[in-house]
Structure 1
């Protein structure tokens, strides 16, 4: 029974440590649940400029905290979600967005991956086609052996058995 309890405790700790830790401090949370939900949604879309691969919602960095507070201040002031995002992009550039906007300047980001994937599929298809053609050509060449070469091939095949 004791081993089951310790195994359960270990599993609970493992699962608990795998869950994302949110860095929003209790003093940042807004009293209005609707505004707080909007703030959390916006914070999840914004990049921590220090951590770079985390949202400001997940980051413990001081700058991320400042950005979370700024988002909440803008929402309390009556800004829409788009206005808050525009304000932050104007102030920090598009790098602040975890998911960059689609535009001519981000075309490579959005289309680069699919184009590389299509090119890879094309290369694999061409390689397989060439192998298939070479195999077919090899079997056709084998049918056109001279009588002397055919005898030598038959002899080699008999020795191999």
Structure 2
């Protein structure tokens, strides 16, 4: 049983290490020749989150996954896609979390509505308390 477990761990460890050992995608670290297209790609990459680091944009991250995402952005822009189309494709593929600029949708509306509701509740409570203090202070 121990041999089987050791074998499985070795196989799984080797496959995980092999993923990081693959060479980077062509446009992971190479800029596009057209400065206008590269500027569009860079602007878009600044607004996309690295799913591995989570605190960096894919433009700033050195993670292999961010390199793959940079390659996808540059390749698609080079192929003639608009940045909005590339963003939509990445969001469809990786989910809303990949974007630093989330759009209001059926899944993200609570993220926008809850803070507004909390501020309104706090304001109502404060106004009510201040109103009660004024009434008791006038008597």
TM range (shorter): 0.7 to 0.9
Map of 1:40 onto structure 2: 42
Q: Report the TM-score, using the length of structure 1 for normalisation.
A: 0.64
Unmatched 5+ stretches in structure 2? 1-26
- Of the three residues 77, 82, 85, the one matched with 2:84 is 82
Greater helix percent: which structure? 1
- Superposed, which structure 2 residues align to 1:9-158 within 5 Å? 27-137=29-139
Q: Does structure 1 retain, via aligned residues, the 8 Å contact 2:59–2:66?
A: yes
RMSD (Å) for aligned C-alpha atoms = 1.9
Cα distance per residue 1:41-94 (max 9 Å; x no partner):
110111110122322122222211211111001111121112211221222122
TM-score normalized by the length of structure 2: 0.73
Structure having the higher Rg: 1
Structure 1, unmatched stretches of 5+, are: 1-24, 138-161
What number of residue pairs does the alignment pair up?
A: 113
Runs of 4+ aligned structure 1 residues displaced above 4 Å come to none
Tell me the CA shift for residue 40 of structure 1: 0.8
Change (3 A) 1:85 1:26: closer
Query: What is the distance in 2 between the residues matched to 1:51 and 1:64?
Result: 9
Larger relative contact order, structure 1 or 2 (CA cutoff 8 Å, min sep 6):
2
